[in-house]
Structure 1
């Protein structure tokens, strides 16, 4: 067995390079798809794994006028980091949440039911200032949102009463698509009809929202009739296609923002018949070289991609050999002998021959959203062109 010597100044174990110029370009592309609507840059889940604060700033530089997060804690962190003077919405609330802090931070908060309306109005009394409230309608996703019919009528009535009392301002009416990433799905038209009916009901009774919105990334790209006053762009912002059915990022005018790479920790020769990784699900077919990639499922590399995940090493596509472990996995280099420290690219834009996040999604039986979002905190984010 022979091991290649490590470089004296080896690069970092791994890095996720975040191209903020690409993100800004994606914002401009998405604005061009919805020229009559404002654009919300969704930076929840640490900007889908890309880093919420740098990505929020880049998106605003490129013309986004709203920011969106799932949890109030995410939005409050952005305010604490200095993001002020821009509308910011958060929508995933549970009883006892930080309503007063959100009101005092000038956040738009989502309300889907009476419990939330009661909590936000009480917080507004304590804060001594009206809360900015967006009423969410369940138009068919069956997740968050208020049901049409009597439930919606009650929520609208009580919200208008609270507005009349000076406790809230109804700043938005909104909903979310279930199948916008499946072109032609019958639920799309049904949800649009329901959204129009539910917003009309609220407006007929006196609601005067600043924005009405239902369009997510796929709807922004393919359904101009859904754009209304605001579009909420998440995954497309980061250059990942919402669905292969809609086309590749290049087809959609987008560029992937994240490139994930690592430095080979070891390169060694092994004989044929050599078992690789836990369970020996891969056995070398003949004498070969193995490369050890120091990333594993603790870093977000999907274990489901064992035996299938693609990696670019030395200008050639390699495949994960055997199981992905917690901190590392192996690729069969087929006799090639790059030095330890050589770069292994798991995914990126693809124009350098490397795999893409979608290639990993296919290998793991999941979606591109999960691939980029799950990259863990042990992998440092390195920002490129982050000063413009």
Structure 2
């Protein structure tokens, strides 16, 4: 893999840390800025909405920019948003910086996905996307716990400053290492939008939203599951989250490499294993050894299948080279936004196993949808290959 890909992964690491770190900082933010914890929670919602809306919007805006110019513009905007957020004493301004940061994050990731696959041979899209998305999984393993620790030691602003500082070398690295690409040579917008109506692509985007929804439905509530159901102490919560993140890192790496050669096996077989794993965790969550082992496995399966779906979406949209990454990013963030809401609605009065059952249901729905879509595509391809009778 080109070294520039790993440098893009550093930027994605900073952005992933920013996206997930607020879970451990909200009480301090609410207390200092004199708002309720519920109001402070809107910072997370604002970021999620910004990611969903921003991915296709920013990708469309950057269509005729050079790849390096777009990446630098989005990354500098992301960095500035965090500097302002770290300095402000206004909740409204902080909320605005989260929206701006999300739009910049979404634009960067959408362009970075396209830039990544342009740096590698046509049959290596899976490996390229796994290298890039490794930054997100490292954020779960290292960035989020580190942000929470900084918040405990020096206040929530320290976490914002840390994200900005990590983004600085990423800006320099992108400027020096990402290959130049000419501006203004994107395909016609109408042609790209028509390509995005491909049934295969739409099915892959739907599957990505369902699988990612299942992932974040359960990941969001792993802490209360560990303490209230498994019976682990509060000190075990970082361990549980780190295990999930470690599994995610392994899953992205392995899934990305296999997705180029055996996509049906990774998505289909991995999807079945993922569904079974959520059921097993729901049934065995009261046993610490079972719970810890399955958290690791589910992290690997969730991100392995998810990264494979992203790469297949890029394969399925050759006619939309600038917008495919944006729509793939948006689809996965729809899942990231809806999954926690579904899990919270299922918990009710403390039923902390419920999100696991919801996750199993979402993956099962993805499997049924994927099987139906694959059968439909094969029937259509078979009909197109049948010889037509002579007139």
* Structure-2-length-normalised TM-score: 0.24
**Bigger share in strand:** 1
* Structure-1-length-normalised TM-score: 0.24
Rg larger in 1 or in 2? 1
**Bigger share in helix:** 2
